Amino acid sequence: MAARVLVIFAVIAVAFGGIPRFPASEGMVLNDRRLRPDSPPSRTLGITVIGDYIVSEGAERVLDRLQRLGVGAVACSPTVAAPSAKGEGTFAPPDDAGSSPRRFDRPLFGREALWLISAPSYAPDTRCYERCAYRPAPATALTRAHGEEISRFVNGALAREWQVYLQVPAARPPGLRDEDRPRLPDGRVAPGRLADTASLASPAVRAHVRAWVRDLLQHYPEVTGIRIDWPEYPCYTIGEAFQDFGPHVADWARQRGFDFDAAHRAARQWYRKLHETLTNRDLQRCLERRAGAEKGLSPLAGLVAPGDALVDWLQIKSALCADFVAHWRASIGEWDATRQLVVQSFMPPFATLTGCDASPVAAHCDVIAPKLYTMHWSQMVKFWADHLLACHPGLDETLLVRVLVCLMDIAETDDMDARITDYGYPKPHEAHPISPASQRRKLDTVLHQAGIGGTAKVGPMVHAYGPPDDVVRRFGVAADSACPIVWITRYGYLGDEKLLRIAARWRTGRVAE
């Protein structure tokens, strides 16, 4: 019953866009697994550093710079990289399906954007994967040439008495097979996915998680823990929001007593509505229902499916995500139960669509790290609006954008006259069009949900992409919260000016002029 109430709350949060303002928790201690209000506050600043920069600049140089910033925690990827020819390997920074104009503030191998080839920073122990369908990416000449630099970074951070985490994808094994990809209600893989992640219910994917954890922790046994990204179903596009109705999830849900068929029918109705019969009147009704939220389950409920069916669909997602995080927790515990698990997640109300609700997840991890990645929220308005207008050319663009902005809760008024061009991926010099109050509401909601769901602490992640004024302003939302740890992602977007001003904001509460 309690789980159902939490899901209903989450559904309301998605549709109303009105996130309640809960009182923030106080007195949380980072190095204790429990929240102890009677303990003195202890706060930590953390920075995410991808292995590429450690190779490019050298471990000691990066560590010295971060020490001057006042850092107490770092997360790094167990990978190494080197520049490559155009079209070989991957492009950095990620172009997010061609929508991102990002460039690094801090040169990587002397450039602000480039193609890279990469490899593990260690030689995988293939014995760990003997019973797995997925094999590890092999060590290469890059591993042999630069792998020790990652070890020097980890050991150097530990010598400074910092917390050190390995950041890894939660559900993206090497060479992901199509049979393990999530499915839409009609059985297809969602076209144009930004995140090529796997079904969270796939036995093969879970077997890989267990093997990979063992492999990582035997190579880096002294790390504080592992931080996982996307242990959920990302919802950058509408198609991604309607995952996962594949056979793995059907089996998982039925074995646990869920009415998968009813949830499947409800999701299929919603998918068809959005793609075939959505009208301006539907959009207007959403706004009217939002204005009188107390009159119904949500502005969306009742348009195509009974509210209970909508809840059932999202409840399966929430339970599956929590179960997948619990599998990560158990896999770590098999090797070393003292190592921490940090879970990166979307902020509410997006987390309701991804499945990573803080309340059930909090019981299975040490820290929840919700992402204040405001450039993505703006991007999602454009992605969703473009998609719906392509399906329904007669929709009123301004009305559609207003509804999406309200449902995503990224503005302070319903009465706006915005168009798609007001959103999208901000350029490097552009402030992100997301209100600070919206960011605070989302963070307060996670703090509340984590508090009622378990003992996990909350450590928000602020993205450093954008102009210095905007980055420091967004960082201030997290810095002024009751959270015991605040993360900045990533080091590559932290030019010297941003480093100076963030350090001042963290230490004194004032922005360096």
Question: Given this model, what pLDDT does residue 512 score?
Answer: 40
Classify each residue of 311-344 as buried b or exposed e, where b means 16 or more C-beta atoms within 10 Å of its C-beta. bbbbbbbbbbbbbbbbbbbbbbeeeeeebbbbbb
Domain boundaries, the chain: 2-31+41-82+117-508
The Cα–Cα gap between 59 and 154 comes to 9
Question: Given this model, what pLDDT does residue 95 score?
Answer: 78
Question: Given this model, what pLDDT does residue 5 score?
Answer: 36
Question: Given this model, what pLDDT does residue 42 score?
Answer: 74
Could you tell me which CATH number the domain at 2-31+41-82+117-508 has? 3.20.20.80
Q: Across residues 258-283, what is the average pLDDT?
A: 93
Report whether pLDDT(241) > 90. Answer: yes
Which residue would you say has higher pLDDT here, 291 or 462? 462
Average pLDDT, the chain: 87
Provide the 10 A C-beta neighbour count for residue 3. 15
pLDDT over 70 percentage in the chain: 86
pLDDT per residue over 149-179, tens digit each? 999 999 999 999 999 999 999 999 999 999 9
The Cα–Cα gap between 296 and 93 comes to 43
Question: Given this model, what pLDDT does residue 292 score?
Answer: 55
Question: Given this model, what pLDDT does residue 303 score?
Answer: 53
295 confidence band (pLDDT: 50, 70, 90) = very low
On whether the pTM is more than 0.85, the answer is yes
* 333 neighbors 421 (Cβ within 8 angstroms): no
pLDDT per residue over 402-441, tens digit each? 999 988 999 886 657 789 999 999 999 999 999 999 999 9
The Cα–Cα gap between 379 and 181 comes to 24
Q: Across residues 346-371, what is the average pLDDT?
A: 95
Specify the amino acid at residue 7.
Answer: V
27 confidence band (pLDDT: 50, 70, 90) = very low
Helices (H), 236-349: 238-241, 247-255, 260-272, 280-291, 307-336
Ranking 25-29, 118-122, 225-229 by mean pLDDT, the lowest is 25-29
361 confidence band (pLDDT: 50, 70, 90) = very high
